[in-house]
């Protein structure tokens, strides 16, 4: 109860203080999964209604900027809360930013399946601008503690740092950054790791509405276990472009990764992954509609069944933005995955047709009343019927906004 009270304190502060933003409401979500075990259909459904409250408060004081936000869900089986505090300071070309995030979940009973936790994350960033160049350094300190320890729940402390240098490049912005992180797990030294990343990126926005984002990086993650299981080196590349031609946006996307593990097994194996998604989009008043082919492929050694595949599909998107009236973000992907080097006796690894549907809808029934709907639906129809599976998620929230 004491933890719940601590999370409610910012809510009362916003209500009775100089609130700039406050919303309350109710909602609920449902997660479902359908699959087969021993040729018997199994359906798993999880639901929980909840009362919602969130808001924000901010003010400026000369060179200082302060902001705070909170979110909370009072559910039928647990309470969840999140508090975000931020301070920014700028003098001349020097800036600093400090933030703290506190999050927790508290189940009302130890008998349900919900695991409680407390998490915090502190960050500090320093930045200096010199002519058109920018140098910044940032450090994150994060800790998470669970109410009970299990195979997938363990306390940890995480330290992350980032050193970044931004500079003009080909009429755009180039950036080179070095990232280092270290995780400590008190109950399992094998889960400790240190990680190093080097990234080079480029971004440019043309006056005609074109933009270009490119990133190439190297990632080294090391687990200090006896066999170094899970340790890997990775080279990755990401590209996102948008080219405007006669009112049509052509947006080719590329995602590539080559990962090599120090020790291979059925869970950690070397692979090469490639995804191509050339999308074509066009605006119709406040609507933007898009369509394009999707191709992805993964290559691994033949001894790792089901880890090599080719996937072909089509993606369709629809976005509508009319703030205060109606928002819509929807994506539908459908296609087929073909596995390589898979025996007919392998369960859940037969070729399959898939559909991935995801959407977010916001409707304003009045100036201060908004309903938010989030849905996802992902069925798979396999060549072997017993491998079929479908997952679904739906969340509905209705909020009333005070002030403004």
Residue 277 in tokens: 């998604």
Specify if 393 maps to a domain. yes
pLDDT at residue 46, as a whole number = 60
Pick from 199, 202, 201, 195: nearest CA to 161: 195
Residue with the bigger pLDDT between 189 and 6: it is: 189
**% of the chain residues with pLDDT over 90:** 47
**How confident is the model over 204-226, as a mean pLDDT?**
88
Cβ count near 206 (within 10 Å): 13
The model's confidence at residue 113, banded by pLDDT at 50, 70 and 90, is confident
**How confident is the model over 325-330, as a mean pLDDT?**
91
**pLDDT(244) > 70:** yes
Residue with the bigger pLDDT between 112 and 376: it is: 376
- Give dist(CA 281, CA 279) in Å, integer: 6
Q: Is 76 left (phi over 0), alpha (psi -120 to 50) or beta?
A: alpha
pLDDT at residue 43, as a whole number = 53
The most confident of the ranges 7-11, 186-190, 345-349, 369-373 is: 369-373
CA distances from 107 to 45, 120, 139 (A): 19, 18, 32
Residue 198 in tokens: 């080097």
CATH number at residue 324: 2.40.160
Mean residue pLDDT of the chain comes to 85
**How confident is the model over 208-219, as a mean pLDDT?**
89
In the chain, how many H helices and how many E strands?
Answer: 1, 20
Number of domains within the chain: 1
Three-class SS state of 20: coil
- Give dist(CA 362, CA 27) in Å, integer: 13
Pick from 276, 262, 273, 275: nearest CA to 299: 273
Domain that holds residue 204: 2-114+128-136+167-402
Q: What is the pLDDT of residues 70-107, one digit of tens each?
A: 998 888 888 889 999 999 998 888 999 999 999 999 88
Specify if 160 maps to a domain. no
Specify if 145 maps to a domain. no
Contacts 24+ apart (CB under 8 A), 278-281: 278/250, 278/251, 278/252, 278/253, 279/250, 279/251, 279/252, 279/253, 279/315, 279/317, 280/248, 280/249, 280/250, 280/251, 281/248, 281/249, 281/251, 281/317
CA distances from 157 to 33, 184, 225 (A): 33, 5, 18
Residue 52 in tokens: 């919602």
Taken in order 395, 321, 85, 203, is the CA torsion positive or negative? positive
Q: Is 7 left (phi over 0), alpha (psi -120 to 50) or beta?
A: alpha
Contacts 24+ apart (CB under 8 A), 107-111: 107/77, 107/78, 107/147, 108/77, 108/78, 108/79, 109/77
The model's confidence at residue 14, banded by pLDDT at 50, 70 and 90, is very low
Q: What is the pLDDT of residues 286-324, one digit of tens each?
A: 899 999 999 999 999 888 777 899 999 999 999 998 877
**How confident is the model over 226-235, as a mean pLDDT?**
88
**pLDDT(3) > 60:** no
Specify if 146 maps to a domain. no
Specify if 152 maps to a domain. no
pLDDT at residue 102, as a whole number = 96
pTM of the model: 0.82
Specify if 365 maps to a domain. yes
Lowest mean pLDDT among 22-31, 124-133, 324-333: 22-31
**pLDDT(6) > 50:** no
pLDDT at residue 27, as a whole number = 77
Specify if 162 maps to a domain. no
Specify if 143 maps to a domain. no
């Amino acid at each position: 109860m004491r933890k719940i009270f601590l999370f409610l304190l910012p809510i009362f502060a916003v209500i009775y203080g100089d609130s700039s933003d406050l919303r309350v409401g109710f909602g609920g979500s449902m997660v479902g999964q359908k699959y087969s075990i021993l040729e018997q259909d199994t359906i798993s459904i999880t639901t929980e209604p909840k009362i919602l409250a969130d808001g924000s408060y901010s003010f400026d004081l000369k060179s200082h900027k302060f902001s705070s936000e909170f979110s909370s869900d009072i559910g039928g089986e647990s309470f969840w809360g999140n508090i975000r505090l931020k301070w920014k300071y700028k003098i001349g070309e020097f800036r600093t930013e400090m933030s703290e995030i506190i999050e927790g979940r508290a189940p009302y009973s130890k008998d349900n399946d919900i695991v409680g936790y407390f998490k915090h994350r502190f960050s500090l960033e320093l930045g200096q601008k010199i002519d058109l160049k920018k140098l910044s350094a940032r450090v994150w300190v994060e800790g998470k503690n669970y109410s009970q320890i299990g195979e997938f729940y363990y306390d940890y402390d995480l330290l992350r740092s980032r050193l970044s240098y931004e500079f003009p490049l080909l009429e755009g912005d180039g950036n080179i950054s070095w990232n280092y992180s270290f995780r400590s797990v008190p109950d399992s030294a094998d889960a400790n790791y240190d990680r190093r990343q080097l990234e080079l990126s480029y971004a440019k926005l043309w006056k005609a509405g074109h933009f270009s984002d490119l990133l190439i990086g190297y990632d080294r993650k090391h687990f200090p276990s006896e066999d170094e299981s899970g340790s890997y080196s990775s080279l990755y590349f990401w590209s996102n472009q948008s080219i405007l031609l006669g009112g049509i946006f052509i947006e080719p996307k590329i995602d590539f990764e080559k990962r090599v593990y120090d020790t291979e097994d059925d869970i950690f194996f070397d692979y090469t992954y490639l995804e191509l998604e050339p999308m074509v989009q066009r605006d119709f008043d406040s609507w933007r509609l898009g369509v394009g082919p999707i191709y992805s492929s993964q290559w691994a050694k033949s001894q790792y069944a089901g880890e090599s595949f080719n996937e072909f599909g089509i993606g369709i998107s629809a976005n509508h933005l009319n703030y205060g009236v109606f928002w819509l973000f929807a994506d539908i992907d459908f296609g087929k995955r073909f596995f390589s080097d898979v025996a007919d006796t392998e369960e859940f690894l037969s070729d399959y047709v898939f559909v991935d549907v995801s959407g977010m809808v916001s409707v304003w029934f009045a100036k201060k009343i908004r309903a938010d709907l989030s849905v996802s639906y992902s069925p798979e129809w396999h060549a072997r019927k017993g491998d079929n599976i479908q997952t679904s998620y739906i969340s509905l929230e209705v909020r009333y906004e005070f002030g403004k």
